[in-house]
Amino acid sequence: MLRSVAARWEAIRLGPAVDSASPPASIAAVRVLVLLIVLATVPFAAPRPGLASAHGIAIIAALAVSTIAWLVWLRPGNRYPVMVAALAVMAAAGGALAGLSAFSPAVAIGCAVTSSAGVRLSSPASLAITAETIGAFLIAGLAVGAPLGTLAGYPAAFVGLWAFGVTRRAYVLRAQEAEAALEQARRAHAAENQAAALAERARIAREIHDVLAHSLAAVSVNLQAAEGLLGSLPEESRGSEVVKAMECIERAVAFTRDGMTETRHAILALREGSDVGEAGASGASGASGASGASAAAATAGAPGPTRLVAELRKLADEYRAAGDAVIDFDVTGTPRPVGAEAALTAYRTAQESLTNARKHAPGEPVRVGLTFTADALEVLVVNALAPDSEAAGPLARSGSGYGLTGLRERAALAGGTLTADRIPGPDGGQWRVCLRIPV
């Protein structure tokens, strides 16, 4: 054991201080129990303390000083200097008490001092306190004529417990170093993950710019060219179908322009990490149904209830004007302020649901409901399904099929839930999308 202590001497001597925080409750209870045993047994051991002799007075004084120093040592939240001072006083008084009352558990005080010093203090300080304990014991023991076996055995016990404490200190220091290294590794791993995420965001931004933005720009140019060609036809050759085609092209140009705006927001968000474009990224995937209202909702900081209601009403009006379906929008409850994320999630849910209704059940009636309850915001979109699959629109097979998955993810991030299911009924039944967000 001594060789092990010597091998670790330099590392321990120069190593960091062991955490001097309050010990666990179990250890504190054991220390209190040891003190009570000493107080209960020393007065009844031979020689007994008392005022009749100098020996008895010395035992009383040593026991009193040891008890006071022990209580200071037990106090939780001790600072390092206070702990060192308490151990030093206990070393002198406890060592002397063990020499004066060699046939009692008084030796427990010296054992507690040397083991605790080895664990808590630096090696030079703990060695000094151990030497102080042994010196006080030998002086008192020789003064009262303690047996030779006691004079040799107790110092050996003090040295052995000190060595145990030093070894324990080395173990604690290694554990602290390992914990610090683990924390550094975690931070490095988190930094690597963040760097990888930023690199992936940059890659996605490049893909959006190179694919979606360019494609929308090309579509916009071609639509404007088609609008110009139709507009150049003579007035007398323009029929009602040409006029409707020009109106559709105008709306498509507006949708494409708004989609490009939202794509720009998404690229800025991915490049700069702002919250403005994160909403636009979702809207860019549904550029055919995007609108100026969606861009406004994406960039709004924290829209109030009036703005959310107005944006959803405007969205319903735009989809109603773009097709021949009957779209009803109603508000239930008293509108109140909601967070930006909840408002944006509600808007995207209505937008995606209307787009899906146009794709899979064109011309069928749609009902959009916004409900403010006492503790939640609810969005309900119900549309009638086409009687048969052949009645689905030409866009039924377009898209990646992850629109509802993205909406569920949005709802979860906002702390809510989203359900989408089919309601059986005549003529194909209905499709229902329900969003609920606690507010």
Q: Domains along the chain?
A: 2-188 (no CATH), 301-439 (3.30.565.10)
CB 37 within 8 A of CB 54: no
* CA R_g for the chain: 41
For 166, other C-beta atoms within 10 Å of its C-beta total 27
SS3 state of residue 369? strand
Q: Is 401 left (phi over 0), alpha (psi -120 to 50) or beta?
A: left
SS3 state of residue 377? strand
**Per-residue tokens: 149:** 């076996």
pLDDT attached to residue 4: 53
For 211, other C-beta atoms within 10 Å of its C-beta total 11
Handedness of CA 254, 259, 260, 261 (dihedral sign): positive
CA distance 357 to 203: 33
Identity (one letter) of the amino acid at 356?
Answer: N
SS3 state of residue 252? helix
**Per-residue tokens: 17:** 């201080």
Torsion of CA 298, 301, 302, 305, to 10 degrees: -50
- For residue 16, is the peptide bond before it cis, meaning its omega torsion is within 30 degrees of 0? no
Alpha helices in 208-239 (DSSP H): 214-231
DSSP-derived pairing of the beta strands 366-372 and 327-332:
parallel
For 402, other C-beta atoms within 10 Å of its C-beta total 10
Query: Of all helices (H) and strands (E), which one includes residue 431?
Result: strand 430-438
CB 366 within 8 A of CB 354: yes
CA distance 278 to 265: 7
Q: Per-residue pLDDT for the chain (439 aa), expressed as one digit of tens each?
A: 555 545 444 444 444 455 555 677 888 888 889 989 998 998 888 888 888 889 989 999 999 999 999 999 888 777 888 889 999 999 999 999 999 988 889 899 999 999 999 988 888 899 999 999 999 999 999 998 888 888 999 999 999 999 999 998 899 889 989 999 999 999 999 999 988 888 887 788 777 776 776 677 677 777 777 777 777 777 666 667 777 777 778 777 777 777 777 777 777 767 765 333 333 333 333 333 333 334 343 443 334 556 889 989 988 888 887 666 789 999 999 988 888 888 888 998 998 898 888 888 888 899 999 999 989 999 999 998 877 655 555 444 544 556 788 889 889 988 999 999 988 877 668 899 999 999 8
pLDDT attached to residue 184: 93
Using DSSP, how many helices (H) and how many strands (E) does the chain show?
15, 5
Torsion of CA 314, 318, 320, 323, to 10 degrees: -170
Rounded to 5 degrees, what are φ and ψ at 304? -75, 175
CB 286 within 8 A of CB 256: no
CA distance 306 to 171: 64
Closest CA to 262 of 285, 283, 293: 283
* Helical pair 123-144 and 107-120, crossing angle rounded to 10 deg: 170
CA 392 to chain centre: 46
Query: Of all helices (H) and strands (E), which one includes residue 83?
Result: helix 80-100
pLDDT attached to residue 417: 95
For 67, other C-beta atoms within 10 Å of its C-beta total 19
Beta bridge mates, 378: 371, 436
**Per-residue tokens: 276:** 């403005």
Tokens 């989203």 correspond to 418
Beta bridge mates, 417: 436
Please spell the DSSP secondary structure of 271-302, one letter per residue.
HH--SHHHHHHHHHHTGGG--HHHHHHHH-SS
Query: Which residues, including other chains, have CB under 8 Å from residue 312's CB and lie 6 or more apart?
Result: 329, 346, 347, 350, 368, 370
pLDDT attached to residue 294: 40
Distances (CA, A) of 241 to 237, 362, 439: 11, 19, 48
